[in-house]
């Protein structure tokens, strides 16, 4: 029996930690130190360990979910999440205003202008103040239930607090609300807004992705969307996600005493009181000119926000007038988005240099007169390839336009031809490698269209540097202390020509290098020695095979027990892995067919590196109709639980995927199948009902 004292302490801890979360993550005004916060949190964790029955859905300990989900469940919105029509000029904005005025005869109309956050639209459903569901927009009618992922975002309240103007009465009101099972907010309310990734968090995440050898995200929105699609909430909890809220869906307020907002401005103030983050800046406009001025002002200040913005949202302030306007099937008639032009700047192209990567690819880079763009000073921009330079007629000395548009690296998008003087010089792409002087070639590279020049010399210093740096990187063999500077020294001294040479180094070898003492040298040799025991997937990734990142390397290690198994595999065997397509399979097969690469593998074997995979799952059964096939489950099954069905498929050598694609072999459809069923029909994938699936299991000896 839990004492009232323990129960009260638990509730006070939950309330206090939630209050501090709001102060830190929403208001940006922390009240206590990190150490004091950690002490409170640790006390709550220990209390819930001792008394598990105390755990409530709104406890801060429930922000990070447990085991990964199998798939996201569909969630049907009670009120559709409509998208906005776009405008691109002041004239189109005026046309929109006139359309509204034809519906509303009132002379005095108030407009609201808000930043258009470039994030992922979400809807949060609260019942009696407790967060029950977090869902994506989806098609507007049905989205994905991503509740466990939403809970990991600290600026999202797990419980809407009681509203009271008198703080001294708040605790008394709260206890009365709990006792009567009422709340001062509606019994049911959907709060709507955006999940986004702050620009600084995005840059940090991309740096980590690069260190791990993973593909970088193109922009903050992609990073936010990719994070919310993770089936493991523990991964989402590590991503720097944040929120902004500005709307509502369904509101059921029959028994509650909550005052429901009647305008957008009232709604924003209400959301703030409830503990939600709202847009940084909002304009209330009483005339068309004020509205156009607000759009212009927002464009000037939007780069100071923590999130990317690509436009302004214009809305009627009054909810009653919105009702008069109504909506089309896809968008409201009372709101519209004004899209700004991409973030651009004009500057002078001083020179074009060419970089050589670890695969030998020659990449042209624009060396620019420094210019400020989107809050940062830009000195270099990508030119992609030779064809791009020729197609855009880009010349050294040109005045050029560069664009960021949310991308990681600025790009040259065009030339200001009116500013040409005739003194500009055409750039001739080098036909020899800038690093080693060897010939370059556009010979066919797997997965490319023959537009990239590459150095043909496998002993090119740039290639060697790139390969060794990649091998030692955190995402590959993770050899601490061996970075860009040390690699350059080793190559210059002639100590290392390929990655296998690292394992021949001694402390005395390293001590001969500049700024390398005995202790530092010993630490490096120790790190190199420890790398011999890394798992197989790290070694595969470290080899630098074209198109093989860390994710592909892990998949290969699940299907091949040793490096020798992979090295001796046919293209067909590699391509049979669901996550690996023709291009990657061809690239892997060609790499291991190269005699020089085979010799490298033998040198690594002789050095004592681990060639075995800890991820490999041996097939303990003979081949069945399930072997190597991909299944997707949708709808409710009567005779077998979904987890059990998945387990049987995997035991029989099959794989269960959460989404339907061209590589799906079977879709098992139970009662009330969702959009996966429709997609399977479109793609012509075989659909099994429950009876057919059970028979298939029986024939395979699994029933």
Consecutive sets of 10 residues in the chain, 703 residues long: mean pLDDT of each?
Answer: 82 82 68 73 82 80 63 88 88 92 85 94 93 90 90 91 45 42 74 93 80 67 86 83 95 81 95 92 94 94 87 95 86 91 86 89 92 81 86 94 68 91 94 93 59 86 92 90 92 93 95 89 95 94 89 87 93 82 88 95 97 74 71 86 76 77 87 81 89 87 71
What gap in Å lies between CA 619 and CA 599, rounded to an integer? 31
Domains belonging to the chain, first-starting first, are 4-62 (1.10.287.610), 86-339 (3.30.470.30), 344-426 (2.40.50.140), 461-533 (1.10.150.20), 536-606 (1.10.150.20), 630-699 (3.40.50.10190)
Which member of 22, 116, 151, 315 is catalytic? 116
pLDDT tens string 202-258: 888 887 776 655 566 767 888 898 888 887 787 788 889 999 999 999 998 877 777
Q: Write down the pLDDT at residue 86.
A: 87
What gap in Å lies between CA 680 and CA 561, rounded to an integer? 33
Q: Write down the pLDDT at residue 32.
A: 76
Query: Which residue is associated with the tokens 């590959």?
Result: 476
pTM: 0.55
Q: C-alpha dihedral over 615, 618, 623, 625, to 10 degrees? A: -30
What gap in Å lies between CA 89 and CA 83, rounded to an integer? 19
Q: Write down the pLDDT at residue 432.
A: 95
What gap in Å lies between CA 490 and CA 465, rounded to an integer? 9
Q: Write down the pLDDT at residue 14.
A: 83
Q: Write down the pLDDT at residue 446.
A: 52
Residue of 601, 566, 600 lying closest to 585 (CA atoms): 566
Q: Write down the pLDDT at residue 161.
A: 67
Q: C-alpha dihedral over 176, 180, 183, 187, to 10 degrees? A: 180
What gap in Å lies between CA 500 and CA 481, rounded to an integer? 17
Q: Is 116 a catalytic residue?
A: yes
Q: Write down the pLDDT at residue 177.
A: 41
pLDDT tens string 63-84: 765 555 667 888 999 999 988 8
DSSP string, 254-321: SS-------BHHHHHHHHHHHT----S--EEESSHHHHHHHHHHHHHHGGGSSS-EEEEEEEESBHHH
Q: Write down the pLDDT at residue 184.
A: 66
């Amino acid at each position: 029996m839990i004492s009232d004292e323990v129960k009260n302490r638990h509730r006070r801890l939950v309330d206090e930690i939630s209050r501090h979360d709001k102060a830190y993550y929403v208001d940006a005004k922390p009240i206590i130190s990190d150490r004091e916060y950690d002490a409170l949190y640790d006390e709550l964790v220990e209390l819930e360990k001792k008394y598990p029955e105390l755990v409530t859905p709104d406890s801060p300990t429930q922000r990070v979910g447990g085991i990964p989900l199998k798939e996201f469940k569909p969630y049907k919105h009670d009120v559709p999440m409509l998208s906005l029509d776009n405008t691109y000029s002041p004239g189109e904005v005026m046309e929109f205003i006139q359309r509204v005025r034809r519906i509303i005869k009132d002379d005095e109309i108030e407009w609201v202008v808000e930043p258009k956050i470039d994030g992922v639209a979400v809807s949060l459903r609260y019942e009696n103040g407790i967060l029950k569901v977090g869902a994506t927009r989806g098609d507007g009618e049905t989205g994905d239930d991503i509740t466990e992922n939403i809970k990991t975002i600290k600026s999202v309240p797990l419980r809407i607090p009681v509203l009271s103007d008198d703080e001294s009465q708040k605790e008394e009101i709260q206890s009365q609300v709990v006792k009567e099972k009422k709340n001062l907010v509606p019994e049911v309310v959907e709060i709507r807004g955006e999940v986004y990734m702050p620009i600084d968090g995005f840059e940090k995440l991309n740096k980590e992705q690069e260190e791990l050898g993973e593909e970088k995200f193109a922009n903050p929105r992609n990073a936010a969307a990719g994070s919310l699609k993770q089936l493991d909430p523990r991964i989402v909890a590590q991503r720097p996600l944040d929120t902004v809220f500005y709307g509502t869906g369904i509101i059921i307020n029959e028994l509650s005493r909550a005052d429901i907002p009647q305008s957008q401005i009232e709604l924003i103030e209400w959301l703030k009181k409830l503990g939600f983050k709202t847009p940084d800046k909002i304009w209330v406009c009483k005339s068309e000119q004020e509205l156009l001025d607000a759009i212009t002002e927002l464009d000037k200040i939007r780069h100071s926000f923590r999130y990317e913005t690509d436009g302004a949202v214009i809305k009627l302030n009054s909810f009653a007038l919105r009702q008069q306007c109504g909506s089309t099937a896809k968008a409201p008639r009372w709101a519209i988005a004004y899209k700004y032009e991409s973030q651009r700047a004009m500057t002078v192209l001083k020179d074009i240099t060419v970089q050589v990567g670890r695969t030998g690819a020659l990449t042209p880079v624009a060396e620019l007169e420094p210019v400020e763009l989107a809050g940062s000073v830009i000195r270099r921009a990508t030119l992609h390839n030779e064809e791009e330079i020729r197609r855009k007629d880009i010349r050294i000395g040109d005045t050029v336009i560069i664009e960021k548009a949310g991308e990681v690296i600025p790009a040259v998008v065009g030339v200001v031809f009116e500013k040409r003087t005739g003194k500009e010089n055409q750039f001739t792409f080098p036909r020899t490698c800038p690093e080693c002087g060897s010939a370059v070639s556009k010979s066919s590279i797997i997965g490319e269209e023959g537009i990239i020049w590459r150095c043909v010399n496998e002993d090119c210093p740039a290639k060697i540097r790139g390969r060794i740096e990649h091998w030692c990187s955190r995402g590959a063999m993770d050899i601490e202390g061996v970075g860009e500077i040390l690699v350059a020294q080793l190559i210059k001294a002639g100590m290392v020509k390929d990655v296998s040479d690292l394992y021949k180094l001694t402390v005395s070898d390293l001590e001969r290098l500049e700024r390398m003492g005995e202790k530092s040298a010993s630490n490096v040799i120790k790190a190199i020695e420890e790398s011999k025991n890394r798992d197989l997937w790290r070694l595969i990734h470290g080899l630098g095979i074209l198109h093989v990142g860390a994710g592909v390397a892990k998949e290969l290690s699940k299907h091949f027990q040793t490096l020798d198994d992979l090295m001796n595999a046919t293209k067909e065997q590699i391509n049979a892995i669901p996550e690996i397509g023709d291009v990657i399979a061809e690239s892997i097969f060609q790499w291991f067919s190269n005699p020089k690469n085979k010799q490298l593998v033998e040198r690594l074997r002789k050095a004592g590196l681990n060639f075995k995979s800890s991820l490999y799952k041996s097939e303990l059964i003979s081949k069945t109709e399930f072997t190597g096939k991909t299944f997707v489950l949708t709808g409710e099954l009567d005779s077998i639980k979904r987890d059990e069905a998945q387990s049987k498929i995997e035991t029989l050598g099959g794989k269960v995927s959460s989404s339907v694609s061209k590589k799906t072999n079977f879709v098992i459809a139970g009662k009330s199948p969702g959009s996966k069923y429709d997609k399977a029909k479109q793609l012509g994938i075989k659909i099994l009902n429950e009876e057919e699936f059970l028979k298939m299991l029986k024939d395979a000896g699994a029933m």
